[in-house]
Chain A
């Protein structure tokens, strides 16, 4: 009977399979909190209520926020919405499509995200289109009459996050 590992390539196949098994073993224990993108720095988080009280003071600056994940982009996982320390306040954490993908299961979990605060001043038409797009993605009904004028939106263009 011929030996099973006759060529260096066959040995390579065995080595690659071994690496795969080892990688799964190494990756498995790190499931407690999941890091996305570059993760977050050791900087102190800023309260979302502080940011939303004086947003223009933070626009263009890197901020770290923490809170409850209340929504996730259901199409591409390219954003999530974080609730802050006060009721009725949320902010969208936007990441580059495909680079970071937030899972649908992040909803209801605590998360920390870091990135640059962006400001968008939308005309009424742009705001309607934006809201319509988000409603379509979420599979929700949207009433254009709910938007009555121009809208200023703030979001964090995030480079990384950690979800519990």
Chain B
């Protein structure tokens, strides 16, 4: 087997191996890139309810009254008073935040976004442990795919032909961003503090939570 044959076998079989994880990581990547606009893993259904106001008392009494007046399905698994008139009731997978004196409540039911939740769980390495090694191995596979890809074909469509221009274009895109945003001085550069300019990290760097 010559080197190109071996290269192509590697590229082909590792490519097959990487299909599932590449789809998972790509879909999750797009989803979490926009997490400042939405929660990529969960959607929260909110329902506003009104009930006859409950007089202030100790937490257990108020919880019992709220369960009865809101016709909730039994006592909650846990509860908490965040303010004298605000009682929070926690059920399995959903919760109620009630303003006892105003007689208003919001019921929140988080629901995982099917497939996206699972993709993000893996992509963001929430399992930790052995999954870290699987993800590392996948990264190595991607590296091998990237390095073997340009040598699959030869001639005009290979690396020596037009392939080199595509490789160069692919290199220029990140380089251009790095040059403008990181390397070159100027007003366009983001703050250099750790975490600054990215979500709430910027707030924290500015002395805010």
Q: Which residues of A come within 8 Å of B, CB atoms?
A: 7, 9-10, 12-13, 16, 19-20, 22-23, 26-27, 30, 35, 68, 70, 74-78, 83, 87-88, 90, 92, 94, 96-98, 101, 103-105, 107-109, 118, 120, 122, 126, 130, 133, 139-140, 153, 155
Contact = CB atoms under 8 A, between A and B. Distances in A.
A26 B76 CA distance: 33
Nearest to B207: A120
A107 B126 contact: no
B78 A75 contact: no
B14 A9 contact: yes
Contact of B35 (A20, A75, A88): A75
Given A92-B209, A155-B209, 17 more contacts: A16-B134, A19-B133, A23-B127, A23-B130, A27-B131, A30-B129, A75-B36, A76-B39, A77-B41, A78-B199, A88-B84, A105-B93, A107-B108, A108-B91, A126-B208, A130-B209, A139-B46
Contact of B199 (A90, A97, A153): A97
A83 B106 CA distance: 19
Interface of B: 9-10, 13-14, 16-17, 32, 35-36, 38-39, 41-42, 44, 46, 59, 76-78, 80-84, 88, 90-93, 95, 106, 108, 110, 124, 126-131, 133-134, 137, 195, 198-201, 203-204, 207-209
A10 B16 CA distance: 10
B209 A16 contact: no
Contacts of B35: 75-76
Q: In terms of DSSP, what is the predominant structure of the interface of chain B? A: mixed
A101 B106 contact: no
A13 B134 contact: no
A105 B13 contact: no
B205 to A, nearest CB: 12
Contact of A9 (B13, B76, B130): B13
Contacts, number: 120
A130 B13 contact: no
B129 to A, nearest CB: 6
Contacts of A16: 17, 134, 137
A68 B81 CA distance: 11
A7 B80 contact: no
A7 to B, nearest CB: 6
